[in-house]
Amino acid sequence: MNFITFSETNLRAFTYNVFKKMGCSDAHAELATDVLIRSDLRGIDSHGVARLSGYIRLWEKKRINATPDIKIVHETPTTATVDGDAGLGLVVAPFAMQVAIEKAEKYGSGWVSVKNSNHYGIAGYHALMAVEKDMIGISMTNASPLVAPTYANERLLGTNPMCYAFPAGKYPPVIVDMATSAAANGKLEIAQRANKSVPDGWVQDKTGENSTNPNELKNGGSLLPLGSDKDHGSHKGYGLSATVDILSAVLSGANYGPWVPPFVAFLEPSANPVGEGLGHFLGAMRVDGFRLAADFKNHLDNWVERFKNAKTIDPDKKVIIPGEPEYEFEQERKISGIPLIDVVVNDLNELANKLGIEGLK
């Protein structure tokens, strides 16, 4: 496995060209590019440009609309449902978060449930939009069914991430951004490439037996909810995933549970959908709706310091503040560039070739 490093500028230009070839407007191409590049910068390689050819394949199958008419279809002063018109989640979710932020500016908080959308990239991107306005950002999405609820041996839920992001003072924002499964699918992919087994408690085989085979999903197996088994609270991971599914899709009119359309273009969406596309849930709350923003930030800084200075089992392994590793990646990669593994580079150059645009350089 070899890495080739690209500057942020070059990777942005390439990604923008791909979205333009898809037929996106300049503004949408720029926004979708920003979501993907931010993911790579933040070290979440599984959700960055590595997904570009996946988006293109969905567009080729007409499951992504490159020129969506994204709009509010229902609202109160602080709540709304947005119809994404089958657009890229990468542009639909920022639209919805912008609605939430504007409502929060006027009324203190704003909450938007989204239907008829597609994969929205990293949850944290959208939540950070609120943080930049001194708001608390909340971001969730449902996803292709890969996870079996406790006791089941079929896939009924996605890895359905939840993200809560908080503005700090002298420290980077605290960002809890997590799949509600024991392990995200990206971790299985890493084990597949390295030909390594995965820990017990990540996946089960199609009969429901524990498995350490990273390819188990291809054999009808399932990911397990956070908690892994009933004794260790898998019903909690299942409950969190259910919460994301209900807020994102039952509330908006998107597909939920096993009806969520698969991200991979070679699997067909359900012939009998219960809603439109997949769903997201975005929220923003003004910090100064509760107390002076400066007081909140001072206390969050104090919280961060106390946890950073916690007594640890291994003195060399400090307690990690949620969001800090991604922040550090971003500072470093903005300077030294974004490393991509060669299989991704080859895939992107094949894509460029197919679309008739310049390859990566």
By CB under 8 A, the residues from 294 to 333 that bind a second copy are 295-296, 299-300, 302-303, 306-307, 310-314, 317-320, 322
Residue 190 is a binding residue for a second copy (CB under 8 A)? no
Closest CB to a second copy among 71 and 354? 71
On whether the CB atoms of residues 241 and 157 are closer than 8 A, the answer is: yes
> Binding a second copy by CB under 8 A: which of 150, 192, 212, 213?
150
Count residues binding a second copy (CB under 8 A). 85
Residue 191 is a binding residue for a second copy (CB under 8 A)? no
Dihedral angle over CA of 97, 100, 102, 107, nearest 10: -160
Residue 127 is a binding residue for a second copy (CB under 8 A)? no
Match 């054999």 to its residue by tokens: 219
Question: DSSP secondary-structure letter at 248?
Answer: I
Residue 172 is a binding residue for a second copy (CB under 8 A)? no
Closest CB to a second copy among 68 and 323? 323
Q: Which amino acid is at 71?
A: K
Contact string (CB under 8 A) for a second copy, positions 200-239, x = contact: -xx----xx-----------------xxx--xxx-xxxxx
Residue in 174, 188, 208, 194 with CA at minimum distance from that of residue 301: 174
> Binding a second copy by CB under 8 A: which of 243, 330, 347, 349?
243
Residue 75 is a binding residue for a second copy (CB under 8 A)? yes
Residue 151 is a binding residue for a second copy (CB under 8 A)? yes
Q: How far apart are CA 276 and CA 45, in angstroms?
A: 28
Closest CB to a second copy among 264 and 319? 319
Taking each helix axis as running N to C, give the angle between helix 89-107 and helix 123-131, from 0 to 180 degrees, rounded to the nearest 10. Answer: 30
Residues in the chain: 361
Closest CB to a second copy among 274 and 355? 274
Q: Which two tokens stand for residue 303?
A: 């919280």
Beta bridge partners of 111: 79, 283
> Binding a second copy by CB under 8 A: which of 13, 275, 329, 355?
275
On whether the CB atoms of residues 268 and 63 are closer than 8 A, the answer is: no
Give min distance, CB of 162 to a second copy, in A.
8
On whether the CB atoms of residues 280 and 96 are closer than 8 A, the answer is: yes
Closest CB to a second copy among 23 and 289? 289
Q: How far apart are CA 272 and CA 282, in angstroms?
A: 27
Residue 339 is a binding residue for a second copy (CB under 8 A)? no
Buried b (16+ CB within 10 A) or exposed e, 108-126: bbbbbbbbbbbbbbbbbbb
Give min distance, CB of 51 to a second copy, in A.
22
Look at the alpha carbons of 41, 323, 3, 351 in this order and tell me if their dihedral is positive or negative: negative
Residue 361 is a binding residue for a second copy (CB under 8 A)? no
Give min distance, CB of 268 to a second copy, in A.
19
> Binding a second copy by CB under 8 A: which of 117, 118, 159, 252?
252
Residue 108 is a binding residue for a second copy (CB under 8 A)? yes
